[in-house]
Amino acid sequence: MKYLRLRATSVVLLMLCLMYFITYLDRVNVSTAASGFGKEFNLSKTEIGLVFSAFAYPYLVFQIIGGWVSDKFGARRTLIWCGLLWAVATICTGFAGGLVSLLLARLLLGFGEGATFPAATSAMSRWVSKDNRGFAQGITHAFSRIGNAVAPTAVVAVMAVYGWRESFYICGVISLVWVLIWSRVFTEDPSKHPRITPQELDVLPVAKKKKVTVAWKPLFFRMLPVTLVYFCYGWTLWLFLSWIPQYFLHSYDMDIKKSALFASGVFFAGVIGDTLGGIISDRILKRTGNLRKARSYMVAVCMFLTLLSLLPLMWTHDRTVSILSLSAGFFFAEMTIGPMWAIPMDIAPDCSGTASGIMNTGSAMAAILSPVISGYVIDRTGNWELPFVGSIILMGIGVLLCFRIQPDNRFHNVKTPLDDAMANIQA
C-alpha cells in the first residue's frame, strides 16, 4: 500500500489525527441535529441535554478500562474494535424513533469511544519522540476541533437536502472506512513497520521489553490532581460542544444556517489553540528543560485567560461581543490540551494509556454533568449566558490545582496488595 511518500511516523500520526476528527464529528453532530430530532420527538432542553450526556456514562467507565486494555493488548486491536462499535452506534442514531432509542444509541457510542484517546496516547508513547509529545497531542486534538467546526455546517447541509437521520448514516460509513485503513497501516512495534527508517527509530522511545503490571492505587492518586484539572477544563468543553450551536440559534434568534456558521467559527478558534498549545509547550520544554513550566504552568496561564475571556458574557448581550468572547475563551481553553495530554506520558511513560484514561475520566464526568445542568438552567431561567458562570468558576479552581500536577515527578510503578489482586484478575 502506498503512503504518498510520507514517513511511517507521519502516516501513524495522520491516522490518529483523522481518528480524532471522526470521533468528534460523531460526538457533536447530535448538537446540530437536535434542532431536527428535538422538534420531531417534542423534547425539552433538559431532555436534549440528557441525549447529549448519555454518551458520557459508558465513556467515563471505559476510560481507565480502555487505557489498561490498550497497554495490555495494544492500540491496534483496541482501536479496530472501538471503531467498529462507534460506527455502528452512529448509524443506529439515525434509526432512532424517540428519546429512549436516542439514549441507547448514544450510550453505545460512549462504549465505542471510551478507549479511543487513551489507546491513541498509548500508541503515541511508542511512535512519537519525547520532544514532540506536546505537538502530537496538540495536532491530534486540533483535528478533533476541526470535527467540531465542520459538524454544524456539514450536518445542516445534509439536513437541508435529506434530513437529520442521513447525517448519522454518512458519519458512520466514514468511521468504517477509517477502521479498514488503520488495520492496514499501524503496527504495535515501530521497528516492525515495513516502511520505518533507521533515522525515525533513533529518535523514538525504546520499545518495552516486557509487559508492565500497573500499580493501580499509587497511579490513581498520582494522577488525581491532573484528573481534577481536566474536569475543570472538560466542563467548559462539553458546555461548548453541546450548546454553542443552539446558543446562537435561540439566544440571538438566528436561522439554523447562520447559527451553524457562527458555531463553526468558535470551534475553529479551538483548532488554532490546540495546535499552538502543543507547539509552545514543546518549545518551552526544549528551551528550559523544565516540565513544570512547559506543562502545568502553561495550563494555569491558559485557564486564567479563558476565565477572563468569558467574563464579558456576564455583562452584555451583544452578538459581536459574544462571538469574540466565546472564540477567545475556546481558543485559550484548547491551548491547554497539548500540555495536558503530554503529562500522562511524562509522568507514566510505561503505562501512559492507563494514566491518560484516569485523566480523561475528569472530562468524561464533566460530559455527564455539564450538558444536563446547563440545559436545566436554560429551561428554568431562559438565560443562555448563565451556564457560563460555571465555566468561569471552574477555570479559576483549575488554575490553583495546576500547581499540584508536578509533571517532572515521574511515577514509579511500585505495586501494593491491591495491585497484586488486580494482576491476578488480569491473568
Helix (H, G, I), strand (E, B) or coil at 338: helix
pTM for this structure?
Answer: 0.77
If you count them, how many residues does the chain have? Answer: 427
The mean pLDDT values, 10 residues at a time, for the chain of 427 residues are 66 93 84 83 85 84 83 89 93 91 92 88 86 87 84 80 88 94 91 86 70 78 95 92 78 73 84 92 92 95 96 87 92 94 88 87 89 86 87 96 91 56 46
pLDDT (0 to 100) of residue 251 = 73
Rounded Cα distance, 186 and 379, in Å: 47
**Grid cell of 238 as nine digits:** 462539553
Q: Among 275, 288, 337, 357, which residue's Cα sits nearest to residue 71?
A: 357
pLDDT (0 to 100) of residue 267 = 85
Angle 383-389-390 from CA coordinates, rounded to 5°: 115
pLDDT (0 to 100) of residue 414 = 53
Question: Domains in the chain, ordered, with CATH?
Answer: 8-207+214-426 (1.20.1250.20)
Q: What is the DSSP-derived secondary structure letter of residue 313?
A: G
Amino acid of residue 88: V
**Grid cell of 211 as nine digits:** 509487559
Rounded Cα distance, 402 and 57, in Å: 26
pLDDT (0 to 100) of residue 427 = 41
User: Which residues make Cβ contacts (< 8 Å) with residue 288, sequence separation at least 6?
Assistant: 294
